[in-house]
Chain A
Amino acid sequence: MKKTIIILLGIILTISFSMISSAEEGNERKGKYTYRKVYQSCKDRGEVESATPTLSPDAKTQAQWDRYFEEKKYLEADCKEEWNKLSEEDILNIHAYLKGHAADSPTPAKCK
């Protein structure tokens, strides 16, 4: 009985922890679309020539992406106008997306 409770407790803890952490890490699916939209509207505005984001997720490693967002380096790159409009959550989502498909992730991805 004790064992079951511990196991249950463990499961609950894991689930809630993973939920918290996923909330902290942002929704990478949403991030993908937000990221695309940044460059789409940036292209519509005429700042960049292609709607394909300049940086693909696999352009950096997970650690490099963390540093990139920590230091808000995206504000130094192109499409600053769009980046400035993004909410904190949007940025978290994009961070999650880029990190989730970084070069050293299990599923490195390229933007098309």
Chain B
Amino acid sequence: MKNKTFIMLFSTVLGAWLSVWQSDLCHAAQMGNEKRQTTTDHSKHKVLQQEFSTGDDITKACLSCHTETDSQFHKTIHWTWIAEEGEKQLGKGGDSLNNYCISSNKMNDKGCSKCHTGWNAKEGEVNCLLCHSQKEVNWDETFEDFRFFKEEGDDESKALAAELQGNIHKAVTDIGLPTRKNCGSCHFFGGGGDGVKHGDLDSSLTHPDKMLDVHMGTNGGNFTCFRCHSGKLHNIPGRIYSQKAYEDRRSLVEDDTISKITCESCHTATPHKENAKMNDHTDKVACQACHIPDFARVNPTKMSWDWSKSGRLKDGKPYKTKGPYDKENYLSIKGEMKWEKNVKPEYFWFNGSMSSLTTKDVIDPSTTVAVSQPNGNINDPDSRIFPFKIHHGVQPYDLEYKTLLAPLLSGKDGYWTTLDWQNALQKGMDFSGVPFSGKFDFVKSTFAYPTTHMVMPKANALACTECHVRTNSRLASFGELYMPGRDYYKEIDFGGWILVFGAFAGILLHGTLRFFSGKRK
């Protein structure tokens, strides 16, 4: 069609051939990972049969075979927590901040380091088991208790020590590719709790239904995370600061060595049925925009966090209250917050990169500060309309230097213990290595998160009229874009209908006159 009849036959043949090939690719991708990729049974390795009393010992055993992994891993952002991009040192280990727990103070806030991939933050070895062991173990507690019972020496303690070593052994020998649970143990709990940060990533994705996520659903594709976040040498694609998560929008059909991080990687740029109008949208509308109608469909996600309300006491003590969804809506140590479920995303032009602030960036406190926002515009051919979770915050800033402030939260000097902003901010900024004038106030802020998980089955994608409609269009704010169904000129429509009804009135008049003049005769 499309006035291209002469190439129709050719494209039909080509299309059919491609779709056959593509379905082959998908089929291969749906086979079990373990069966496909594991060629060793770790319980048979002698080096893993020893008694382990520290995490570093375990890693040394891993490295005795996987010799290059630590030097490779030490270069990845999972280890460094730093994304050097131009002048800026982005990342949790760098100068980045957000409007949740604000900052890790260059990894000096021990509360945040729980999610670092080392056994003890950046000290010592990589904790391989965090991602590769299929058994979940609370390592710090287990090792501490194991050493304690081993030292105690009485029979009961010995038995407990043996039991703990048994658990360690099981975890050390049950090795595989990371599951959703492995990745989720940190990424589902970003921001300090289940579903706090991302609206499209929370513990409900550990065993999701395909209605929650058609790819990861255990009754759907049962994808693990790395199925799409497929990297090289432990570099896992997907992270976005100013650098995009992908290099280009090619698909595996065009180049089989690319990472599968975009939808196009597997689905190509024309994923719908041939000639479907939806295929004409893919140059401007991201797949996610229609195929993720809403997020946080099972667990609620945090939508706002007002730090300025923190510090209230009840009977001289910190307290917390619960609100909808049985979620805390006020904590003395954190302030006021709102949770929501089934959230409609907000839409923005997005070329794959984000602009995010650091502790060094000067802000304009008279406006709502965009701590992180998508880059893109209508004229950029790389930009698509993309869904976002916008988290609204109220967070401290330096009244004099006009920079956002990074308080220290956990630990004995942290705000959560002292409820003393002045001190917590001073400590935090000292760690961050950025001057603090000592004068602070609170500023409204927003933080944008691209929404890309929780893709629904195709039957549940948005109807056209969610956007192509005159009132309550999801894309109501995209004024510069012309959209049939949404856009019209009042004057033109008014004039048009005047003409139409004028014609009606005219013929009615003419007809009536004819009728009566005919009768008169």
Contacts and interface: CB of A to CB of B under 8 A. Distances in A.
Asked if the two chains touch in their complex, CB atoms less than 8 Å apart, one says yes
A33 B152 CA distance: 15
B145 interface: yes
The A interface, classified by DSSP as helix, strand, loop or mixed, is helix
Interface in A7-30: 29-30
A29 B138 contact: no
Contacts of A30: 149, 156-157, 160
A32 B163 CA distance: 14
A19 to B, nearest CB: 13
A29 B163 CA distance: 14
B148 interface: yes
A56 to B, nearest CB: 14
A32 B148 CA distance: 13
Interface string A86-112: 000000000000000000000000001
Given A30-B156, A30-B160, A33-B160, A112 B149 contact: no
B432 to A, nearest CB: 27
A29 B144 CA distance: 10
Interface in B314-373: none
The B interface, classified by DSSP as helix, strand, loop or mixed, is helix
Nearest to A32: B145
A112 B149 CA distance: 21
Interface string B148-160: 1100000011001
Nearest to B145: A29
A33 B144 CA distance: 13
A33 B162 CA distance: 13
Contacts of B148: 29
Interface string A20-49: 000000000110110000000000000000
Interface in B136-182: 138, 145, 148-149, 156-157, 160, 163
Contacts of A112: 138
A30 B148 CA distance: 10
A3 to B, nearest CB: 33
Contacts of A33: 145, 160, 163
Interface in A68-100: none
A32 B138 CA distance: 14
A38 B163 CA distance: 16
Centre residue among B148, B149, B156, B163 by max chain A CB count within 10 A: B156
A32 B156 CA distance: 13
Contacts of B160: 30, 33
Nearest to B148: A29
Centre residue among A29, A32, A112 by max chain B CB count within 10 A: A29
Nearest to B164: A33
Contacts of A29: 145, 148-149
A37 B337 CA distance: 37
A32 B157 CA distance: 12
A82 B160 CA distance: 18
B142 to A, nearest CB: 11
A94 B304 CA distance: 40
Contacts of B157: 30
B266 to A, nearest CB: 36
A44 B363 CA distance: 58
A30 B160 CA distance: 8
A30 B149 CA distance: 8
A32 B145 CA distance: 10
B315 to A, nearest CB: 13
A33 B138 CA distance: 14
A82 to B, nearest CB: 17
A20 to B, nearest CB: 17
Given A29-B148, A30-B156, A33-B163, 9 more contacts: A29-B145, A29-B149, A30-B149, A30-B157, A30-B160, A32-B145, A33-B145, A33-B160, A112-B138
Interface of B: 138, 145, 148-149, 156-157, 160, 163
Interface of A: 29-30, 32-33, 112
12 contacts: A29-B145, A29-B148, A29-B149, A30-B149, A30-B156, A30-B157, A30-B160, A32-B145, A33-B145, A33-B160, A33-B163, A112-B138
The 4 nearest A-B residue pairs measured at CB: A33-B160, A29-B145, A29-B148, A30-B156
